[in-house]
Structure 1
Amino acid sequence: MQQRNADRTRTRILAAATEEFAARGIAGARVSRIAEVADCNKAMLYAYYGNKDALFDAVFTAFVDAYLDEVGFDAADLPAYAGRVFDYFEAHPDHLRLSTWYRLERPEGEPLAAILAVNASRLEELRRGQRRREVPRDFTAVSLLSLIQAIATSWSSMNPEYGTEGLPEASRRRAVVMAVRKILR
């Protein structure tokens, strides 16, 4: 019984922390707000996660795992991958904000194992596809993955004044998939 309560508490903490970090970033997040929303005390939060940075790492690792489960990666069909990335961040704007905060506030921090692993896997799959000539060699694997990620998230990162609200989601998604097809030619 005690273990299930601990698991539920950790789940509540991660959910509250995801919301807090997505809204305010690492520097702006407050452990006291996370504990209050999670209905636990700060001492318990620190006992489970150590400190605010370690809690952010746990939140970000959980986001990466959820992202990978839903989006996957297939070097043989990069336009479809870009479409799935677009879909994921349209459905989970809080995760895009987490990713943005991570890049803004941790540019020179200790790399997260989850990020290193996923990048190594995707880049190796792209390189393997390039060696087999299934993936164009016009770009390095790193450049190609960077371009695809940027294209897939481009609509989500536009300033509101740009006027994308009038453009239906299906049209924006179609533009993402077409753009990736074009860079692969």
Structure 2
Amino acid sequence: MKDAKIPIGWLIPIVGLILLLGWFLDQQGWRVSKLNPPGIELVPPTASVVPQSIQSNQSIVTPLLPTLTPLAWAIETSFIVQANQPWQNTGVEVRRGDSLEIVYSSGQWTGRSSSPGLSGPDFGPSPENTDECYPIRGEGSSLIGKIGNGEPFKIGYQYVGNPTDTGILLLRMNDCDKLLFDNAGSITVTIRIRR
């Protein structure tokens, strides 16, 4: 049997990861308290080393490490948008710079109940919708919104953004007020705001 060579190429990435972990822990304020093989004891940055002279009847307060928690939504609510109604007040106040998310949950509607079939909240372009009575010209019977007296914007299945307006969120189907009489159905959306 010839001399078997052990490939060391696989050691380089492992050593690199160990060095990177050491650098990261050092940046976070961790330090090595004991180096007693076979293990290493790391002391977190908020813990304190307790002197041996402290008596057992004395109380020691050790601060807790901070925990990571996901950012919660400041507002999360559902709203049903009726196809045959003009601008509908959701009761949700939006502030300039908020993180706003409006997501389709369920439902179907139509902008013309005399025609067969219903659609979801994103009808798509309708070049014939050029009358100035349409809140968004050239758009079909899609879900739209506006904040206070601001400009209408398309939502469709989902809107995610940081509004530049402040006011109450209003929702509706993109249709002329004078043509709402033949609309049918409703769309349920979830509204979320992070401040």
Q: Per the shorter chain, which TM-score range?
A: under 0.3
TM-score (norm. length: structure 2) = 0.20
Question: Larger strand proportion, structure 1 or 2?
Answer: 2
Question: Larger helix proportion, structure 1 or 2?
Answer: 1
Q: Greater Rg, structure 1 or structure 2?
A: 2
Of structures 1 and 2, the one scoring higher in RCO (CA 8 A, sep 6+) is 2
TM-score (norm. length: structure 1) = 0.21
